[in-house]
Each structure stands twice: as structure tokens, then as C-alpha cells.
Amino acid sequence: MYRQKTSRILIGGGGTGGHVFPAIAIADALKESSPETEFLFVGALGKLEMEKVPEAGYSIEGLPVAGFQRRITFRNLTFFYKLMISMLRSRKIIRQFHPDVAIGVGGYASGPILKAAARKGIPILIQEQNSYAGVTNRLLARSARTICVAYEGMDRYFPAQKIVITGNPVRQQVIQSQGDPRRSRREFGLDEGKKICLVVGGSLGARTLNNSFLDGMDKMDREDLQVLWQCGRFYYDDMEQKVKAAGKKNIRVLPFISRMDLAYEAADVIVSRAGALSISELCLVGKPAILVPSPNVAEDHQTHNAEALVEKKAALMVSDSEAPKKLVDLMLGLMENEQLREELSSNISQLGVPDAAQRIAAEVLKILERK
């Protein structure tokens, strides 16, 4: 195994929890196998990674890069300027840190920093989390030594000889979950003996899920049901006020749930967006799930992610446009259908990969050994 000198690993990307938490998990796995390794994260200024990466104990540099809007908007006028500044900044970061390997996890910042690394001949590993490869990773694939994926059939987008199926890394607390629903329900102030629906709209919340559950509050006003609802910080004040005004004491609204392991443990049914991190965690948790793919993502990749589970009868899916009319009724029907819940739970459990971060770390070490 590679131990000749202290290795320097650069990890680029972020934007959402679906990119940030897997990136941290990869770094943790590498650090566990080689404690002296030096890490530097590169993310987008103002995004989630600028908060969560330092909290995890790692250094991070920020780039002013932003996404290109597919509709006509003033923000696109600054896109190319921010991209140019980010490229220049990326070259400086590469010269100063001089990484042995650069890892791309997707998100705005992965493009400039991985491109700069490739130009300096630094070995690159890409981690593609979704079943539909993003544009940035498809472009970077030409320079990558290894491409780690979570789904079969990714040779549609990448050279087959570079692909390694590793699964998606998830938050360590989810892997280490003790599976004690009673403890978890006490943590959130939920009653025992009642079924619990967990609603998760991603780290930023989801307007469609929030509106769908607001509209369905009267249907959910039942003695045998409780709802644990992560609505997102942006929506929280409005959601909490409306739930209180309606007098729905069986609905618990939170802006953000940091202990997702406990929330998963408590749930009987989970309603979620279909981001890569969410799906990977749901597979490990093994709870029946209803997926509502976000339409506001590149190449509609969340729909592809959800369809991959639906094809295996491992989850149910409702489109974003149909959610206001169908979602709450489907959730209530699933709560009543014990046989379907057991079938979904059994099938989704078979898709979990608890050691995905370790598998990716092993591929990074292989690259170091070949240097």
C-alpha cells in the first residue's frame, strides 16, 4: 500500500448536501486508512460546503463560480466572468497545494478545479452519484483515471474501462444507526404507538412537498398518525405558522434535521426528493419510501434516480406536477398497506452499499500507488 510520503488529496465540488456529505465521507475513509494524508476541499462561495466542510475538520477554498441558468436571466451575464475568475483561482490553488490526486464529486466548483488539475497532469477520480451523468462529469471523464458510479449501465456516458461500481457514500451516522425507534421518537417528541411519516425535501427544503402537505393537513388529522416534516429553513416560519393556525398537533415541523439517522429510525414511511444522497441513505435505512423527483435539476437526473428504484419495486414515485393532488393520498394508502410496505422495505434494503466511501478510498489509493 502507498506509504512513501504524505499524500495530498484535493476534493472539488459541492452545492448541496448530496455532494457535500459524500465528499466528507470519502475524506474520512481516506484519513482512516492513512491518517497523515493532507486534504483540501474546493467549493463554491456561499454554498453549503463552506459551512459543513470546516465543521467536519477540513480546510476549504471557495470559488465564485455559479451555475448557468437555462432560462434568460440577468444572472447569466455574470456567469462567464465568475467562471474565468474561478479558473484563474483554481490554477493558483493547484500550484500552491500541488495535490497527488484530485477527486471530483460534482457541483459548480468541480469543473474549474478538476480542469485545472488535469492541465497539470494530476491524476483525477470522478464520483458520479446519479444514474444520469451530469454534463461536467461527462466532460471531465476524458481526463479521469477512474470513474466511481452507483448505478449499472453508466457506460452510456463514460468509457467502460474507467468505471468502477462503488455505490454512493452516505453520512456516517446513518451507517452506524442503532435501529431503536423508541429512542428516536423520544428525541423528536413523538408519541409511541402511532405511525410516523417522515417528510424530507432535501437540505434546502422543497416547495412542492411543503405545499402538498399543507393542502393535505385535514386528511392527515388522525389519531393514529404523526408527521415529522423537514421543510427547509427558507420555508420554516411560514410552514410552522400555518400548521399552528390549523391546530394540527400531530404534525411536527422542523427547518432542518441534523440527526437524520434518528429521523429515519423513527419513520414508518418516508416521503423524499430523489437526490443521490437521499436514495443511497434510504437504501441503507430500508424503509418504504415515496419519491418525488425535483424537476429543477440538471438533465432531470432525480427522475432517472427514482425510476431506477421503481423498476426494482423498491420505491413508489409521484411526479412533481402530480404531487399536490396525489402525494398525501398515496402516503396514507401506503400507511394502511402493510404488505406493500414490507415488499418495498425488503427490495430497497437489498440495494444499500454501506462501505461505498471505503471502496472509493481504495480506488484513490490505487492511483497513488501507480504514481
Which residue stretches of the chain have pLDDT < 50?
A: 1-3
Question: What is d(CA 45, CA 62) in angstroms, rounded to the nearest whole number?
Answer: 5
pLDDT of residue 205: 62
Query: What is the tens place of the pLDDT at every residue in 190-222?
Result: 998 899 999 998 666 689 999 999 999 999 999
> Which pLDDT does position 204 carry in this prediction?
61
pLDDT tens, position by position, 28-49 = 999 999 999 999 999 999 999 9
List, in sequence order, every residue forming a beta bridge with 198; answer none if it has no partner: 228, 270
Q: Which pLDDT does position 1 carry in this prediction?
A: 41
CA distances from 199 to 62, 209, 227, 292 (A): 32, 8, 7, 11
Q: Please identify which residue in the block is written with the cell numbers 463560480.
A: 65
For residue 3, the model assigns a pLDDT of 45
Per DSSP, the residues of 195-251 read EEEEEE--TT--HHHHHHHHHTTTTT--TTEEEEEE--HHHHHHHHHHHHHHT-TTE
Residues in the chain: 371
Helices (H) and strands (E) in the chain, counts: 15, 13
pLDDT of 15 reads 86
pLDDT for 238: 94
Q: Which amino acid is at 183?
A: R
Look at residue 181 in the predicted model and tell me its pLDDT: 81
